[in-house]
Structure 1
Amino acid sequence: MQKYQKRLMAVLLILLFISIQVVGVMAAGESYRNLTIGSRGNDVVRLQTELKNRGLYNSVVDGIYGRITRAAVISFQKASGITVDGIAGRQTQSTLYAKKTTISRSASTKNYTNDDLYWLSRIIHAEAGAEPYQGKVAVGNVVLNRVKSNSFPNTIYNVIFEYYKNIPQFSPVADGTIYNTPSQESIRAAKDALNGARPVGQSTYFFNPDKAAGTWIVRNKSYVTRIGDHVFYQ
């Protein structure tokens, strides 16, 4: 009998230990309630604010989960490769609020010439002079992805000055702003891109949806992210 009681006590202690561990894990993690049409509160305010920061929510942050908020959530879910249901549940919110590195870098890239830096900094300045720093690096990222792709010319200069049906691929070539002197920040962004910074991964296209519809890109390419006023596709 005593032997049985000892075994029972040992089992109970083990179960108690496991329950403490589980509770600790749950306490350490952030809890999320499902947010859907009609939801209200500070967690909806937080959701709308983060979506707005990412350029996905273009309305008033009012703490009310309506159709515009739902549409922004769906856009985020599609871009993140997670379940697309228009509901901001645990998966969506944990992905949205996850800490992320501003700029990711590859291990290394090949050496670049002064000519590469000259033209890359100019296209960055012309296309993204008013964009946040990450957006500047992202434009350089796109240009370099084109250089590496078999679908585009194989030098930075030729990518920038490529024409399709007599139309320049980059508007600064058409309006002459490609020749403007780049800012020091644009030069630094070009150096970062040349040294391996890849904030938009494999993207080879970008446009400003407030200025262009980008219909062909939207229909034929995959959305990657939005930085500032530019959306990026691969």
Structure 2
Amino acid sequence: MKFAHVLGSLVLASCFYLFVFEDSASAMMDTGSRGSEVEHMQRVLEKLEYFHTTPTGYYGSVTKEAVRDFQADFGLRADGVAGTNTLNMLSNLEMIAHVVHGESRGEIYEGKVAVASVILNRVQSSEFPGSTYGVIYQQNAFTALNDGQYWLTPDASSYRAAKDAYFGWDPSEGATYYYNPSGVSDEWIYSRDVIKTIGQHVYAR
């Protein structure tokens, strides 16, 4: 599974994303925690289909069980405590969901998973930065970062696409590039070997 290969390269997302802590000791939430960070985590878990009630901002037994289920699926220590590794994984999924929503929200679901897969394929490639954050924030890597669509709120299907890509579904068949031929501004992209087309996106390596 792809998440096993990228877990070691996870980084705490900065600025907009999920959780920003001054030190790793504070990067933890558990039963009794409350506040906006807990509520945000609950909303992300809800879109990932782990949290099945209204987010409250309180870390109770329902949240603990949702975190435990998430951890078990992603190969993390399933203790129900939202520590550094768990928060990093959630942050990575959230970043990918933002790219998916910004770049492919009009595409069929397979196309959304393919866009998420390209991000993960880049993380694993020596030709790109070795972390989700590094890949997504690499200069001019994704149009959505440049035109602001990255900052739109992702829908649940964008989170599911990120999750499915982490679990190994790669409709792009190993692609590290994709583009919409009608919006190409740099013809260099045409030098890449085309793998397939899904919807309006051409996938290449």
Pairwise TM-score range, normalised by the shorter structure: 0.5 to 0.7
Question: In the alignment, which residue of structure 1 is the partner of 2:94?
Answer: 118
Q: Select the residue among 180, 189, 195 that pairs with 1:217.
A: 189
Deviations 1:90-139 (A, max 9, x none): xxxxxxxxxxxxxxxxx564147101111011100000000000000000
> Where do 1:29-44 residues align within 5 Å?
none
CA contact under 8 A between 1:207 and 1:214: conserved in structure 2?
no
Q: Which amino acid letter does the alignment assign opposite residue 152 of structure 2?
A: N
- Structure 2 CA distance for aligned equivalents of residues 178 and 203 of structure 1: 21
1:148-183 CA deviation, whole Å, 9 max, x = no partner? Answer: 0111111111111101xxxx2111111111111101
Counterpart code for 1:222: D
2:136 paired residue among 126, 151, 160: 160
Unmatched runs of 5 consecutive residues or more in structure 1: 1-106
Match 2:180 to one of 187, 208, 217:
208
Asked which structure has the greater RCO (Cα within 8 Å, sep 6+), the reply is 2
Matched, 1:233 2:201: no
1:172 aligned residue: 144
Percent of aligned pairs with the same amino acid? 37
Deviations 1:33-63 (A, max 9, x none): xxxxxxxxxxxxxxxxxxxxxxxxxxxxxxx
| Runs of 4+ that moved beyond 3 A | none
Give the structure with higher Rg (CA).
1
Q: Match for residue 160 of structure 2? A: 188
AA aligned opposite 2:116: G
Amino acid at match of 1:204: T
Q: Flag the 1:214–1:227 CA change in 2: closer, same or farther, 3 A.
A: farther
Aligned length: 123
Bigger CA drift: 172-181 or 121-130? 172-181
Aligned pair partner of 1:144 in 120, 123, 135: 120
CA RMSD of aligned residues (A): 1.5
What CA distance in whole angstroms lies between the structure 2 residues aligned with 1:151 and 1:203? Answer: 13
Distance between the aligned counterparts of 1:232 and 1:159, measured in 2? 17
Unpaired runs of at least 5, structure 2: 5-73, 75-87
